[in-house]
C-alpha cells in the first residue's frame, strides 16, 4: 500500500521537519522490536490521534500545519524583537536570549570576531559573569566549539553539539575543569555570518545537564541565526562607522591642553554616533596670552567633521595673527566660511585670555554665553546678541570683557549641552545655572571636576554618554 502524499500548501516548505508533537505514537502493546514500519505508522497517524481515537484523514496535515504556524509565529515574534534593537550590544543580547529559548538552554555567549579584522571584537555572555567569561578564555581555543568556529574550521549545517562533556573521552582537561567550575555539562554552538560579510563570530549555548537540541530545535535556531546574522552585520557596520567618526573627530581636536602659568584648563567632549561638528581649542599666544575657542558647525556626518577641522585650523591661524582682537578673528572666519563653505553655518565663541590680569576679551557669533563660576557668584556673562557665521552678508558684533577673581572658573560650552536636556531654552539655561552653582566646594579647585559635575548634573541618568545627534563640548578655564 502506498503512502498518500500530503497536499502542497502555499508558503510551507515540505522539507521542514515535522513538529515534535506530530510524530506518530507507537500503538499500545507494541514493543520497539515489533514497531510498525514507516508506511504502517503513517496510516495509523492518519486515522488516530495522540490518544488513539479515530480522526479524519486530513488530521495529520492539520496537525502539521498547526505546528508550522506555531513555529512561524515564534520566529516572527523573535525576529520582531531583534529588529527593534538599535545597538550592537542590545542585538547580541537579544540573539542570546532568543537562541536560549529555542534550544532549551539557560546560559550562553557570543564571541564577536569579524573575519575582515575591522572589528569591533567582543565577548558577551548570557547568565555568565565577567569572571566566568575570563575562566572560559583560559581554555585552549581549539578545544571550545565556538573557538573552532572562529578559527574557520568547517561546521555542519546542524552546528556543533557536545551533548555530554564529561563522557567525551578527548575533552581537554582544562575545558573539563572550567565546565565543572561553571556548572555546565553540554553545549551547542552555531556560527554567526551574513551574506557579503562572511563570518562575524560564533554563538554557543550551555546546558546545566547532558542534553542536545532536537532536529526541530536545530532547524528553528538555524533559521533564526541566519536572519540574526544579517541584522548583526548591519549593526556591526553602524558600530564600525560610529567608531571611525568618533576617532576622526577626536583626532581633529587637541590631544592635550597647553600649560600656561596663571590658569588651569580642562575639557569634556561627547561625540554623537553620526559625527558632529562641535569643537574646542586652547592655543598659546604671544605675550603669555591664551586663545580660547568653542564652536559648532551645523549638521552631522563626515562632511561636517571635515568642515569643523578646516574651520578650527583657520581659527588657529587667525588667532595667532590678530588674537588680541576677537572680533577681527571671527570676522575673518566668517569671510572664509562664506567663500569656502557657502552652504554651511556655524556658531563660534573666541576669547583672548590674559592670565596675569585674569581677564578674557570675548566675541561670539550666535553662541551661548559663557558661565562664570565662583565662591560668591555664579552668573552668565553678558554678551551681545549676534547671528551665527554664514547667516548674514557681513558679520560683526562688539566684544565684551570678563574680569575674573582668583579661584573663579569660566565655563565655555556648546549648545549641545542644552539641547540634549530636551527642555525649552529657558529651562535648559536654568538647569545649567543650578548645576554650576551646586558644584561642591571641594571640587572648585579642579576645572576638570567642575566640568564633569556640570555635565553629569545637567545630563543625569546616562544622558551625558547616551547616543545623541547633539555633540557636547565644555571647556573650563580656572584662574589661579
Query: Is there a single domain that holds both residue 379 and residue 390?
Result: yes
Percentage of the chain lying above the pLDDT 70 cut: 87
Query: Is there a single domain that holds both residue 212 and residue 287?
Result: no
* Structural domains counted in the chain: 3
The domain that contains 335 carries what CATH number? Answer: 3.60.40.10
**Is residue 356 a contact partner of residue 262, using CB atoms and an 8 Å limit?**
yes
Q: Work out the average pLDDT over 210-227.
A: 93
Query: Is there a single domain that holds both residue 285 and residue 340?
Result: yes
CB within 8 A of 304, min separation 6: which ones? 275, 276, 277, 297, 298, 344
Domain around 262: 253-479
Model pLDDT, residue 306: 86
Model pLDDT, residue 4: 41
Q: Which of 182, 217, 245 is the last residue of a domain?
A: 245
Query: Is there a single domain that holds both residue 287 and residue 331?
Result: yes
Query: Is there a single domain that holds both residue 58 and residue 103?
Result: no
Residue 20 pLDDT > 70: no
Q: Which of 82, 105, 123 is the last residue of a domain?
A: 82
Output the pTM of the full model. Answer: 0.62
Residue 301: pLDDT band (50, 70, 90) is: confident
Residue at 1 is within a domain:
no
Query: Is there a single domain that holds both residue 385 and residue 320?
Result: yes
CA 224/CA 187 separation, integer angstroms = 18
Query: Is there a single domain that holds both residue 215 and residue 357?
Result: no
SS3 268: strand
Find how far residue 112's CA is from the centre of its chain.
Answer: 14
Question: Which tens digits make up the pLDDT trace of 161-172?
Answer: 999 999 888 889
Q: Work out the average pLDDT over 451-455.
A: 96
Q: Higher-confidence residue: 36 or 378?
A: 378
Query: Is there a single domain that holds both residue 95 and residue 211?
Result: yes
Q: Work out the average pLDDT over 428-444.
A: 95
Question: Which tens digits make up the pLDDT trace of 379-423?
Answer: 999 877 688 888 876 667 788 999 999 999 999 999 999 999 999
Model pLDDT, residue 478: 97
CA 467/CA 241 separation, integer angstroms = 14
Q: Work out the average pLDDT over 308-322.
A: 92
Per-state percent for the chain, helix, strand, coil, to nearest 5: 40, 20, 35
Model pLDDT, residue 238: 81
Residue 455: pLDDT band (50, 70, 90) is: very high
Residue 126 pLDDT > 60: yes
Query: Is there a single domain that holds both residue 297 and residue 428?
Result: yes
DSSP letters spanning 332-396:
HHHHHHHHH-TT--EEEEEEEEEGGGTEEEEEEES-PPPEEE-SS-EEE------PPBTSSSS--
Query: Is there a single domain that holds both residue 173 and residue 224?
Result: yes
Q: Which of 38, 65, 82 is the last residue of a domain?
A: 82
Model pLDDT, residue 189: 95
Of the chain, the end-to-end C-alpha distance in Å amounts to 101
Q: Higher-confidence residue: 66 or 315?
A: 315
**Is residue 403 a contact partner of residue 453, using CB atoms and an 8 Å limit?**
no
CA 346/CA 471 separation, integer angstroms = 14
CA 379/CA 237 separation, integer angstroms = 45
Question: Which tens digits make up the pLDDT trace of 320-353?
Answer: 999 899 999 999 998 888 888 888 889 999 999 9
Query: Is there a single domain that holds both residue 76 and residue 101?
Result: no
312: left (phi over 0), alpha (psi -120 to 50) or beta: alpha
CB within 8 A of 211, min separation 6: which ones? 104, 163, 185, 186
Residue 8 pLDDT > 80: no
Query: Is there a single domain that holds both residue 94 and residue 76?
Result: no
Residue 26 pLDDT > 50: no
Amino acid at each position: 500500500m502506498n503512502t498518500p502524499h500530503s497536499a502542497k500548501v502555499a508558503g510551507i516548505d515540505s522539507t521542514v521537519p515535522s513538529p515534535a508533537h506530530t510524530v506518530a505514537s507507537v500503538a499500545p502493546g507494541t514493543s520497539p522490536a515489533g514497531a510498525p514500519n514507516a508506511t504502517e505508522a503513517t496510516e495509523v497517524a492518519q486515522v488516530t490521534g495522540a490518544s488513539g481515537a479515530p480522526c479524519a484523514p486530513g488530521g495529520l496535515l492539520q496537525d502539521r500545519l498547526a505546528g508550522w504556524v506555531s513555529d512561524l509565529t515564534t520566529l516572527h515574534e523573535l525576529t520582531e524583537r531583534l529588529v527593534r534593537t538599535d545597538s550592537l550590544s542590545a542585538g547580541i543580547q537579544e540573539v542570546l536570549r532568543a537562541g536560549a529559548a529555542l534550544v532549551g538552554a539557560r546560559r550562553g555567549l557570543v564571541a564577536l570576531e569579524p573575519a575582515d579584522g575591522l572589528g569591533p571584537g567582543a565577548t558577551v555572555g548570557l547568565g555568565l559573569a565577567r569572571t566566568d567569561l575570563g575562566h572560559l578564555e583560559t581554555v585552549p581555543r581549539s578545544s571550545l566549539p565556538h573557538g573552532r568556529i572562529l578559527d574557520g574550521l568547517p561546521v555542519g549545517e546542524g552546528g556543533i553539539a557536545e551533548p555530554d562533556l564529561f563522557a567525551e573521552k578527548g575533552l581537554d582537561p582544562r575545558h573539563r575543569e572550567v565546565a565543572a567550575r561553571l556548572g555546565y555539562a553540554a553545549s551547542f554552538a552555531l556560527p554567526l555570518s551574513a551574506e557579503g560579510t562572511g563570518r562575524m563570530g560564533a554563538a554557543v549555548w550551555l546546558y546545566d545537564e547532558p542534553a542536545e537540541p532536537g532536529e526541530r530545535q536545530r532547524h528553528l535556531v538555524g533559521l533564526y541565526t541566519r536572519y540574526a546574522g544579517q541584522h548583526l552585520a548591519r549593526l556591526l557596520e553602524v558600530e564600525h562607522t560610529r567608531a571611525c567618526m568618533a576617532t576622526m573627530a577626536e583626532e581633529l581636536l587637541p590631544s592635550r591642553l597647553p600649560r600656561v602659568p596663571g590658569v588651569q584648563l580642562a575639557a569634556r567632549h561627547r561625540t554623537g554616533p553620526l559625527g558632529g561638528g562641535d569643537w574646542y581649542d586652547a592655543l598659546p599666544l604671544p605675550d603669555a596670552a591664551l586663545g580660547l575657542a568653542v564652536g559648532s558647525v551645523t549638521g552631522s556626518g563626515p562632511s561636517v567633521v571635515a568642515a569643523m577641522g578646516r574651520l578650527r585650523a583657520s581659527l588657529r591661524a587667525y588667532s595667532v595673527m590678530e588674537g588680541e582682537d576677537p572680533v577681527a578673528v571671527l570676522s575673518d572666519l566668517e569671510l572664509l566660511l562664506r567663500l569656502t563653505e557657502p552652504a554651511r553655518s556655524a556658531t563660534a565663541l573666541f576669547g583672548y585670555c590674559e592670565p596675569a590680569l585674569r581677564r578674557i576679551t570675548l566675541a561670539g557669533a550666535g553662541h551661548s554665553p559663557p558661565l562664570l563660576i565662583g565662591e560668591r557668584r555664579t552668573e552668565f556673562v553678558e554678551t551681545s546678541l549676534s547671528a551665527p557665521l554664514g547667516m548674514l552678508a557681513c558679520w560683526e558684533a562688539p566684544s565684551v570683557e570678563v574680569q575674573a577673581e582668583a579661584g573663579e572658573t569660566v565655563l565655555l560650552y556648546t549648545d549641545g549641552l542644552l539641547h540634549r536636556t530636551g527642555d525649552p531654552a529657558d529651562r535648559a539655561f536654568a538647569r545649567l545655572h543650578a548645576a554650576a552653582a551646586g558644584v561642591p566646594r571641594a571640587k572648585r579647585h579642579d576645572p576638570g571636576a567642575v566640568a564633569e559635575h556640570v555635565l553629569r548634573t545637567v545630563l543625569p541618568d546616562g544622558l551625558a554618554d547616551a547616543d545623541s545627534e547633539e555633540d557636547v563640548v565644555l571647556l573650563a578655564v580656572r584662574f589661579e
